[in-house]
Structure 1
Amino acid sequence: MNIIDLHCDALLKLWEGKGRLRFRDAQELQTNLLRLQQGKVMVQCFAIFLEPEIVSDQKFQAALEQVDYFYKEVLGKNPEMKHIKEWSDFIKLQDGEIGAMLTLEGVDAIGNDLTKLRILHQLGVHSVGLTWNNANLAADGAGEPRGGGLTLFGKEIVAFNNQHHILTDVSHLSDKAFWDVLELADYPIASHSNSKTLCNHPRNLTDEQAVAMFQKGGLIHVVYNPPFVKEDGNATITDLVEHIDHFCSLGGLKQIGLGSDFDGISELIPGLEDAGKVKNLINELLKYYSEDAVKGFASENFLEHIENKLI
């Protein structure tokens, strides 16, 4: 069963490794090529993420360096990896090929310069989250006590995303910023978030938010990070399935997907330690859902979303 994974942080690890890691088989990468092949991942999205402590005037350079690793190490050395340059590329993938798409996790790298976002889009970014957990010039993140919404610049970014058919990712936003995005975004998505009803974590979505996402036509991709699955962190694959089940109960059966957060998490669910183990999640889902429903969670809900809204 083919998988579309909307979020990983392999580029951060490659960048921090300064050329010492091979994307093809580095054991340090939970999303290396061999593991993606083993897990039957048909598309892996690669986030550009910058640690908050990077000095502001160095952030765009750091983002470009991560993009360089994407082109040089992920695509350049592995002919099996195919660059997703536009939405229609999702449906052009051949057997044995794995699509690779760039995303942006927080717009800190662009400062207040929309031209830099335009450059990143031209390089292949097709999904943009306005923040990580901190605040920036666009919005407040989930970890910012102030809890502010979108700034005027943040609203410009959402308008840019709408114009260019770019997904606007709500996963790390403050509550106020979430609702501002949902009001303005044509293509909202949560790339890696779970249910706050089942696990009361600031990064998760309330039932009200989830229902609003589904009503707006957005998708929610569940995340494998144990603290977002179960409050004590001792999460199992069954616990993760319960988040999918809960979102289904809110009307999201056709709007749920997967967003592992591999290579960006320090804790792992037993049996779901890397991209090669995703079949364990699929097998667990098949105990409770029809094959068609599980195919939807794995990839087809997202593909239908692309064909209906973005191509």
Structure 2
Amino acid sequence: MEIIDFHCDALLKLSNGKGELSFLDSPELQTNFKRLKKGKVKAQCFAIFIEPEIPSDQKFHEALVQVEYFYQEVLGKNPDMVQIREWSDFDRLQENQIGAMLTLEGVDAIGNSITNLHTLFQLGVRSVGLTWNFANLAADGASEPRGGGLTLFGKEIVRFNNDHQILTDVSHLSEKGFWDVMEIASYPVASHSNTWKLCNHPRNLKNDQIEALFAKGGLISVVYFPPFITENEHASISDIIKHIDHLCSLGGIKQIGLGSDFDGISTFVHGLEDASKSQNFINELLKYFTEDEVKGFAYQNFLNHRPK
């Protein structure tokens, strides 16, 4: 069964590798081309993520470096990787092709410049998360003790996203920031988050947040990182399915997707260690849900709720 994976950090690994890694088959990449192909991942979203220790005046440059790796290493050397620039591009993928879409994880890279965001949009970014875990000029992240919401600049970014049919991603946002986004975002999503009810972690969403996101037509893509799945040390595929089941109980059976966070995580669900193992997850889901429901989680819910 084909899959759309809403989040990975392969571009960060490629950038840190300084040209030593091959997107085709480097074993260091959980989402390398061969693994995506084996796992039947039909489209992969590639996050631009700038590590906090990068000096502020170098962050936009680092974002452009990661975009260059996307164009040269991901697309340029693998003809079957096809960039998604328009929401209708998903429908035009051929049987042998894998779609590749740029996203932005935290707007630290753009400084205080909407022009920089527009540049990234022109380069193909179609989903924007306002923060990583900490505060920036747009909002507070999920781990910021202050817990503040969106700044005026943050609200300007959401309006830019609305005007350009860009998704506004609430994964990593503070709770107050989440509710500010709900008030004004036309296209909210959670690209890689689980349920706080089952795992008390600040990166997960509470029931009232989940219901509000569903009411706005947004998707939640479940994440494969064990600390977001269970409060125990290890996590199984069945543990992720419990989060999906809980999301269904909140009315979201048609608004659940997948957001692995591969290449950005350090521990793994048993049997789901990289993209090549993705069908293990699908096969387990089919034991609990109908084929149409699983197709929804895997790709169709995303296609049904993308901007028109």
Return the TM-score normalized by structure 1. 0.99
- Give the counterpart letter for 1:51 in structure 2: E
Q: Match for residue 17 of structure 1?
A: 17
Aligned residue pairs, count: 308
Aligned pairs for 1:29-44 within 5 A: 29-44=29-44
Matches of 1:8 and 1:277, distance apart in 2: 15
| Match status 1:184 vs 2:151 | no
Deviations 1:33-88 (A, max 9, x none): 00000000000000000110100000000000000000000000000100001111
Matches of 1:70 and 1:197, distance apart in 2: 36
Q: Match for residue 249 of structure 1?
A: 249
Q: CA deviation at 1:305?
A: 1.1
Deviations 1:121-148 (A, max 9, x none): 0000000000000100000000100000
Where do 4+ consecutive residues of structure 1 move more than 6 Å?
A: none
RMSD: 0.5
Matched position secondary structure for 1:280 = helix
Q: Match for residue 200 of structure 2?
A: 200
Matches of 2:38 and 2:294, distance apart in 1: 18
Matches of 2:254 and 2:172, distance apart in 1: 23
Matched position secondary structure for 1:299 = helix
Q: Match for residue 71 of structure 2?
A: 71
Matched position secondary structure for 2:257 = strand
Matches of 1:269 and 1:221, distance apart in 2: 16
| Match status 1:213 vs 2:213 | yes
Q: CA deviation at 1:232?
A: 1.9
- Give the counterpart letter for 1:134 in structure 2: F
Fraction of identical pairs, as percent: 71
Q: CA deviation at 1:265?
A: 0.2
Aligned pairs for 1:14-163 within 5 A: 14-163=14-163
Matches of 1:233 and 1:90, distance apart in 2: 37
Matches of 2:141 and 2:45, distance apart in 1: 21
Q: CA deviation at 1:234?
A: 1.1
Unaligned ranges ≥5, structure 2: none
Matched position secondary structure for 1:133 = coil
Matched position secondary structure for 2:104 = strand
Deviations 1:174-230 (A, max 9, x none): 000000001110000000000000000000000110011111110000000000000
Matched position secondary structure for 2:101 = strand
- Give the counterpart letter for 2:145 in structure 1: P
Matches of 2:163 and 2:44, distance apart in 1: 24
Aligned pairs for 1:162-181 within 5 A: 162-181=162-181
Matches of 1:233 and 1:251, distance apart in 2: 29
Q: Match for residue 293 of structure 1?
A: 293
Matches of 2:118 and 2:232, distance apart in 1: 41
- Give the counterpart letter for 1:195 in structure 2: T
| Match status 1:238 vs 2:235 | no
Matched position secondary structure for 1:142 = coil
Matches of 2:17 and 2:247, distance apart in 1: 37
Matches of 1:305 and 1:136, distance apart in 2: 29
Matches of 1:184 and 1:54, distance apart in 2: 31
Return the TM-score normalized by structure 2. 1.00
- Give the counterpart letter for 1:48 in structure 2: I
Unaligned ranges ≥5, structure 1: none
Deviations 1:225-260 (A, max 9, x none): 000000123110000000000000000000000000
- Give the counterpart letter for 2:156 in structure 1: E
Matches of 2:24 and 2:170, distance apart in 1: 31
Matches of 2:45 and 2:155, distance apart in 1: 24
Matched position secondary structure for 1:91 = helix
